[in-house]
Structure 1
Amino acid sequence: MSAMKSNGGSPWAPRQQLERSAHVSVTIESPNNEDHSNGKHCSRPENKKLARSIRKKLRNLPSQSSKCCIFRVPEKLRQGYEVAYMPRVIAIGPYHHNDPGLKRMEDHKLRYLQSFLRHNMNIRLEDCFERIRCWEDHIRSCYDGPIELDSDEFAEMTLLDGFFVIQLFLMFQNPRWRLDGDRIFGKPRILDEVRRDMTLLENQMPFFAIERLFEMAYGSHQKHLSGLLELAYGFFRPSTNIEELPEAVMESEVQHFLDAIRLLYLPTARKPPSESEDEIKFIPSATELVAAGVKLKRGTSQRLFDIKFKKGKLEIPRLKFYYSTESCFRNIIAFEQCYYQNDRYLIDYMTFMDHLVNTPDDAKLLINKGIIENWLGNENAAADLINTLCKETFQRSSNTYFSSLRGELDAHCRKPHNKWKATFKRNYCSSPWAVLSIIAAVVLLTLTIVQTVCSLLSLK
């Protein structure tokens, strides 16, 4: 109590004194510290060197842009699945521009440019480069990392890649435009590889840049040509297996071709983000759902998200697994993980399917029901793909499209009488002979009861 009174009644005074004394001792023991009392500064040469280095880094620090939409695949997604993200025959854009294994296709890009110029005599390369230099900063801002190309190299790459893509789409639609001995259209395997490479996240160009080149070249012929987006969907249709192109997709703002492909799979009616932050519910697997009385059926819709659960019947549109499916889906999922905050639709869909498929037996059940069309070899390969597509991804419960469906399936499986009915049907109604035996047993039991009652009545 006496200590508190001697320091103005404050219990913190002793601590303040200790801090002041500690500060004084540090100042005395550090003669090289700055002297703030007289405004003089003592700087070591090595500190000046470090300061200059930091200032240089700050000057060269790339600006962060809200336009960024083309990313390097995060390392945690890439590990173990590097092949799915790497181009095999062609580089589009700057990330793989100097890859030695892709150089062979650079000459083919020049051939396509030559073909383009022959059919468009009024187009001057000087004008194209002038336009591209006006867009350069905008195009660069669409990439998430520094681009090791100077302005001339960047303009040349943009022109060659842009017109290559345009000519590729036009040649695909109009075979008479193709070159004699074309190494892409003359060999179907190369065409499939090019199409696959153009769906990779790291192998994209901003859509607006290619569209502006397209308008420069064919703007006056728009009445006789399909739009660039329509040409793109026609080119990618063999890998997406989506025949009808919804009007809403054509009116959407597209970032690049991978984003355009992603739009094909999305539901026609989008759901706003939920305010709930509860954990995502795990639903039972396919075999467990069947054991709980749920009937699995292949849906007729082409849209993956048109999954319906009504009166104990779960309808799931057919999911096709081809050799190119893994690469396409992994890159769309990586794009959603990097770019979209609340619209991670394919991640949600594949998470839902991952819950359905826990074992190869689950995959086999869905294959037998026609829900999965499997060209990967066997059910083990299909199960492995489903179980690893969303590995290391993050999904919030507030933006899950299937949250209400998960709740309905979970509620159905929690009711004991659903399992009892399913067990009874499986054990006693699985074949006509089993049904007949049950009917015979019921009839026999009924006759026995009637006979017993009659016997008791006769005794009276």
Structure 2
Amino acid sequence: MEEIQAGVSEERSNTGIIRAEREDIAADEVQKYMKKKLDEVLGEPFKPRSVTIFRLPAWFYENSKDLSEPKIVSIGPYHHDKESVQTMEENKWSTLRDFLARNKNLGFDVYLREMRLLEGKARERYSETVNLESKDFVMMLLLDGCFILEFLLKLKAEDWLAICSLNWAIESLSSDLCLLENQIPFFVIHKLFEIQNGCSQNCDQGLCPLLNLIYEVMPWPIEEFRFRQAQISCSQIQHLLHLYYTGVLPDNQLGGEQGYMVTGKSCSKPIPCASQLHQAGVIFRRKRSPRDMFDISFHDGIMEIPYIQIDSSLKNYLWNMVGFEQSQRFKLDQILISYVALMSSLICTEMDVAILERSDIISNYLKNDEQVATFFNQTSENYFGLNYTNHYFHGVFKAINEYSETIWIKYRAQLMREYFRDPWTSILVIQAAIILVLTVLQTYYSAAK
């Protein structure tokens, strides 16, 4: 009996040991997993990461897929697995071959080595952890960077068939390269161009050959205004969309009379729509010789706005540039969202679009006027953060609201002139009002019985 009890005790002891060993193993696995995750965290403690390439918020991404997802080519990690871009993924290899063939003195290993050196810095630029192994991430940087450069070089040579056999696809390619979620860091592209062409010596003096190439060949969606060269060095440019953003900004980011970042007492609400202002006597005119697309003014009931052609290309660029501005709203001024807020205030329905079209301010190349109204309202609703008391068009908003508030005085004066110019007219108007009130009361009591 004692031997049996001893055996049971020994078995329990062994079971306890096994359980403890298993718990130790499990604890080691948790420790290893947590250490691995901590090691994968990018950046340094207490230092913000230099994130420049963001995902759009999911809560409105579903309503803007056509403006947010690449149609032909994926750049960067966010959309590389989409079915629609797989054909171009295969074509990137022939594009890489063409790019490498431009300088036969350099081996493939030179480019690859530089991309390996940039991997950590490039990963930090993405707002989400990129779940690609090191070899796949480095390969993506090389393929996508060389694709962009080869696309630019073939545009310059007007080698259309070498770019794509479908002419319509070239415009889509250009648009895809400027999507908010479809980017790689500019320093990756610059390094590849530098390796092949040696352009680093004068870049900080604004003489970057790569920037000159981009300015020369990349299509600009707002044809009415010249693409402005960036007032920052190429080392400060975050990606191609950022470069486009700097190209649309007004000189020195300052407007005219509207006055950016005005402080003090100001308007605190949006303005009436174009049809309401039109009924109130406001005249809309196309601005002649505007400085830029933001050169909007309001004086004595006359609103002048620069001409703009609204098509699918403009929608794409404007949506993504506003998204970029909002993604860094604590670092950048709210110039584009101010413009969208102004236009969405003016354009609520297709009736408002028609008024601006008749005034030669808008040319609509979308299917109908309703699509224009929907675009501006959708863009304004999805992007947030505009302070109506302190923004780029503060002066315009303030002047329009003050004008609107005085309209009733004008109507009252008109009423006094037309209906109360003599005693007999006044008596007739009052009599008619009394009859109307009595009729309404009689109808009400009859219905109540």
Common fold, TM-score beyond 0.5? yes
Aligned to 2:162: 182
Aligned to 2:81: 98
Answering whether residue 63 of structure 2 is matched by residue 75 of structure 1, we say no
State how 1:44-63 maps to structure 2 within 5 Å: 52=31, 57-63=37-43
Cα contact 1:363–1:379 (8 A) shared by 2: yes
Computing the radius of gyration from Cα coordinates, the structure with the larger value is 1
Aligned to 2:314: 325
Aligned to 1:403: 394
Aligned to 2:324: 335
State how 1:308-457 maps to structure 2 within 5 Å: 308-341=297-330, 342-397=332-387, 399-416=390-407, 419-420=410-411
- Residues paired across the two proteins, number: 378
Distance 1:422 1:270 in 2: 42
Aligned to 2:70: 87
Q: Post-superposition shift, 1:217?
A: 0.8
Q: Post-superposition shift, 1:49?
A: 8.2
What secondary structure is seen at the aligned counterpart in 2 of 1:415?
helix
Q: Post-superposition shift, 1:50?
A: 10
Computed over aligned residues only, the root mean square deviation of the Cα atoms, in angstroms, reads: 3.3
Distance 1:109 1:270 in 2: 38
Q: Post-superposition shift, 1:170?
A: 1.3
Answering whether residue 280 of structure 2 is matched by residue 292 of structure 1, we say yes
Could you tell which deviates more after superposition, 391-400 or 323-332? 391-400
Q: Post-superposition shift, 1:291?
A: 2.7
State how 1:138-157 maps to structure 2 within 5 Å: 138-157=121-140
Aligned AA for 2:393? Answer: F
Q: Post-superposition shift, 1:399?
A: 5.0
Q: Post-superposition shift, 1:243?
A: 5.3
Distance 1:302 1:310 in 2: 18
TM-score relative to the length of structure 1: 0.74
Aligned to 2:170: 191
Aligned AA for 1:314? Answer: M
Answering whether residue 108 of structure 2 is matched by residue 125 of structure 1, we say yes
Cα contact 1:116–1:167 (8 A) shared by 2: yes
Cα contact 1:293–1:421 (8 A) shared by 2: no
Cα contact 1:242–1:302 (8 A) shared by 2: no
Could you tell which deviates more after superposition, 115-124 or 405-414? 115-124
Give the % identical residues: 28
Q: Do the aligned partners of residues 50 and 150 (structure 1) sit closer, same or farther apart at CA in structure 2, a change above 3 Å counting? A: closer
Q: Do the aligned partners of residues 373 and 421 (structure 1) sit closer, same or farther apart at CA in structure 2, a change above 3 Å counting? A: farther
Aligned AA for 1:182? Answer: A
Cα contact 2:228–2:248 (8 A) shared by 1: no
Distance 2:323 2:60 in 1: 7
Distance 2:60 2:115 in 1: 33
Aligned AA for 1:325? Answer: L
Distance 1:234 1:254 in 2: 17
Q: Post-superposition shift, 1:222?
A: 9.6
Provide Cα deviations, 1:80-139, integer angstroms capped at 9, x if missing partner.
222211111111112122333312112322222222222211121111111111111111
Aligned to 1:25: none
Which of 182, 196, 201 in structure 1 is aligned with 2:180? 201
Aligned AA for 1:303? Answer: D
TM-score relative to the length of structure 2: 0.75
Distance 1:288 1:314 in 2: 13
Aligned AA for 2:271? Answer: I
Provide Cα deviations, 1:190-249, integer angstroms capped at 9, x if missing partner.
1111112111111111112111211111126999x9822232233432433255233454
Q: Do the aligned partners of residues 416 and 325 (structure 1) sit closer, same or farther apart at CA in structure 2, a change above 3 Å counting? A: closer
Aligned to 2:445: none
Answering whether residue 269 of structure 2 is matched by residue 281 of structure 1, we say yes
Distance 1:322 1:147 in 2: 34
Q: Do the aligned partners of residues 293 and 423 (structure 1) sit closer, same or farther apart at CA in structure 2, a change above 3 Å counting? A: farther
Distance 1:420 1:174 in 2: 63
Q: Post-superposition shift, 1:183?
A: 5.4
Structure 2: where are the runs of 5+ without partners?
1-21, 255-259, 419-449
Q: Post-superposition shift, 1:69?
A: 0.5
Distance 1:298 1:320 in 2: 12
State how 1:121-270 maps to structure 2 within 5 Å: 121-175=104-158, 178=159, 181-182=161-162, 184=164, 186-219=165-198, 227-241=209-223, 244-247=226-229, 249=231, 253-270=236-253
Structure 1: where are the runs of 5+ without partners?
1-43, 428-460
Q: Post-superposition shift, 1:77?
A: 2.7
Aligned AA for 1:169? Answer: L
Distance 1:57 1:230 in 2: 42
Distance 1:82 1:270 in 2: 30
Answering whether residue 93 of structure 2 is matched by residue 114 of structure 1, we say no
What secondary structure is seen at the aligned counterpart in 1 of 2:198?
helix
What secondary structure is seen at the aligned counterpart in 1 of 2:162?
coil
Q: Do the aligned partners of residues 321 and 67 (structure 1) sit closer, same or farther apart at CA in structure 2, a change above 3 Å counting? A: same
